[in-house]
Amino acid sequence: MICEQAPLTGAGKVYGIIGWPVRHSLSPVMQNAAFSAAGIDAIYVPFPVLPEQLPQGVQGLRALQVAGVNVTIPYKTAIMPLLDEIDSNARAAGAVNVVVNRNGRLVGYNTDGDGLIISLKKDLGFNPEGSRVVLVGAGGAARGALAALCRAGVASVAVLNRTASAAREMIARFQRDYPLVALSVIDQHTTAAEFWSRQELVINATSLGMHGEQISGLPLASLSPVARVYDMVYAPPVTPLLSAARALGLQAENGLGMLVAQGELAFALWNGIPPAENVMRDALVRHLDRT
């Protein structure tokens, strides 16, 4: 909350998040807690930007010398041509979730993918290197995840998406850059139980679960008992996917750790130092407990 913040002086820096809508974003809670804990004279505010005003919004960041922003739905891809430079990971993911204002030049980064890998290791004890993964979804979050999984050296990723053509398009691009990773598009109705029994991790990168939706036809019972399930959705904290996986005895985690890790990486890009350990997670958990 802003009231946790030390008073901002004229020398203070302004950071924020742009998206539409941004009312429900939890990034201000995490980032302001981290600025405050680090004693940095800065504030982080939500910037709702109407879809038809994205170019003006980005121009406004330059004019007002905003030091950096997070980018959320629906602008992670749309903002790319409006920036001065795109980091290679963001280019690979086709999405930007962090912008750093470097002396007037706006540079785009993607910390979602690396945030996922950090959370998989920390929260699920899962090292993606050499592993077989099913990725549900082919939107911005899935692209960031696929880029990071490929960088982390997975053996294979099978993509399951409502719109199969979007999944095919996504993997075609990545297959060129990562010829050693076996990428495929699957359909839950035709894929054999034997295939599922060999998968080590299932990741939900769709918005299904935010409002109690099931991911239809996902044969969790065919997974090996040591397979793990990761749901990028973090509100509600227990989605239907997570409760179904846990009911089968599978280790399953929500996306809170990814949200925290991408925010910690963004903070480090802006400030050159990481935030104090757990300050963002604790602020978030306190906030979610109150709401």
Residues in contact with ligand NDP by CB under 6 A are 73, 112, 115, 137-142, 161-163, 166, 205-208, 210, 232-234, 255, 258-259, 262
Cα–Cα dist 51/74, whole Å: 8
Collapsing DSSP to helix, strand or coil, 203 comes out as strand
User: What is 122-179 written as a DSSP string?
Assistant: HHH----TT-EEEEE--SHHHHHHHHHHHHTT-SEEEEE-SSHHHHHHHHHHHHHH-T
Residue closer to ligand NDP, measured from CB, 103 or 291:
291
**Annotated catalytic residue 13:** no
Smallest distance, ligand NDP to C-beta of residue 77, A: 8
- What CA–CA distance (Å, rounded) separates 78 from 74? 8
Question: At closest approach, how far in Å is the CB of 66 from ligand NDP?
Answer: 22
Q: Is residue 204 within 8 Å of residue 136, measured between CB atoms?
A: yes
- How many residues can be counted in the chain? 291
Q: How far is the CB of 12 from ligand NDP (least distance, A)?
A: 27
Closer residue to ligand NDP in complex, CB, 110/271: 110
Contact 129, 94 (CB under 8 A): no
Q: Which residue has tokens 């002086």?
A: 9
According to DSSP, the residues that pair with 45 across neighbouring strands are: 16
Nearer to ligand NDP, 156 or 188 (CB): 188
Q: In terms of CB distance, is 75 or 196 closer to ligand NDP?
A: 75
| Residue whose CB is less far from ligand NDP, 191 or 206 | 206
Q: Which two tokens stand for residue 135?
A: 């990725």
Report, in Å, the least distance between residue 170 CB and ligand NDP. Answer: 9
Closest residue to ligand NDP using C-beta atoms: 139
**Minimal distance in Å, beta carbon 84 to ligand NDP?**
23
Among the listed residues 171, 166, 138, the one whose alpha carbon sits nearest the alpha carbon of residue 156: 171
Q: In what order do the strands lie in the sheet with 42-48?
A: 42-48, 13-19, 68-71, 98-102, 105-109, 85-86
What residues act catalytically?
A: 76
